[in-house]
Copies of this chain bind each other. A is one copy, B any other.
Amino acid sequence: MAGKSTRDEIVAAADRLFYETGFEATSFADIAAAVNISRGNFYYHFKTKDDILDAVIAVRLASTRRMLEAWEEEGDDPAARIRSFIGILITNRAKIMRHGCPVGTLCNELAKLDHGAKDDASRIFTMFRDWLARQFVALGRPAEADALAMHLLAASQGVATLASAFRDADFIRREVEGMAAWVEAQRPPAPAA
C-alpha cells in the first residue's frame, strides 16, 4: 500500500511537470526531486521516463472519463453538458494562460518527437470528441455530430493556444461566450406547429 502511494506521487509529480515545463524538458531527476525519494526507490517503480509517460496518460484518461461522467450526471440537457466542457477554459484559465492546454500541448510535443505514445495521448482528445458527439446527437444533430464535436474541440484548442501566447483572460471570456451562443444555435429548429 505504501508502495502504491509512492507510485501515485511519482505519477502526479510527472503529470504536473510534463504540463508545466514539457515532457522533453522534464528529466527523470526532476521528477525524483519533486517527490523527494531516492533514486533506488524511484527505479523500483519506473525504469524509464517513457514508462512514467504511459502512467501519466493513463491517469489523464481516467480523470477525463470521471469528469465527463460527472457532467452527464449533472443534468439531461445536452447543451448544458456541452457548456460544462466549454467552461473548462474559464475554470482553468490561469493555468492555460501559463502553460496552454495539457492535452493539446502534450499531443503537439509527442507528435514532433514522433514518440511511440503520441497516439495514446491523442486518445484523450478522442474521449472528448466521442463524448461531445454523443451530446450533439442528443441535441438532435446526429448527421453532423462528429463534425460539430471536432469543430468545438478545435475552437477550444485555438483559444488555449492564443490565451497562452497573449495571456489575455478577456479574450478567453469573449470566445467562451461566443462558443456558448454557437452551441445554442446548433439546436434544430422546433417543428412547425
> Dominant SS at the A interface?
helix
Q: Which residue of B lies closest to A122 (CB)?
A: B165
A158 to B100, CA, bound (A): 12
Q: List the B side residues contacting A108 at CB < 8 Å.
A: 100, 104-105, 108, 161, 164
A108 to B21 alpha-carbon distance, docked (Å): 10
Q: Tell me how many chains of this kind the complex includes.
A: 2
Report chain B residues within 8 Å CB of A83.
Answer: none
Q: Which residues of B contact A134 (CB under 8 A)?
A: none
Tell whether A75 is near chain B: CB-to-CB under 8 Å: no
Answer whether residue A39 sits at the interface, using C-beta atoms and an 8 A cutoff: no
Q: Knowing A164-B107, A165-B122, A165-B125 touch, does A112 contact B25 (C-beta < 8 A)?
A: yes
Task: Report how many residues on chain A are interfacial, defined by Cβ distance under 8 Å.
Answer: 40
**Which of A42-50, A57-65, A149-157 faces chain B?**
A149-157
Q: How far is the CA of A119 from the CA of B129 in the complex (A)?
A: 32
B158 touches A161 (CB 8 A): yes
Q: Which of B22, B151, B162 contacts A112 (CB 8 A)?
A: B22
* A1-23 interface (Cβ within 8 A of B): 19-22
Are B125 and A99 in contact, CB atoms less than 8 angstroms apart? no
A187: chain B residues at CB < 8 Å are none
Identify which of B122, B159, B166 contacts A122 (C-beta below 8 A): B166
Interface of chain A residues 67 through 119 with chain B (CB within 8 A): 98-100, 104-105, 107-109, 111-114
Chain B residues, Cβ within 8 Å of A111 = 98-100, 164-165
Asked if A191 lies at the interface with its beta carbon under 8 angstroms from chain B, I say: no
Q: With A and B bound together, what is the CA distance between A174 and B98 in angstroms?
A: 31
Given contacts A105-B108, A111-B165, 6 further A-B contacts (CB under 8 A): A99-B111, A104-B108, A104-B161, A109-B109, A150-B175, A158-B158
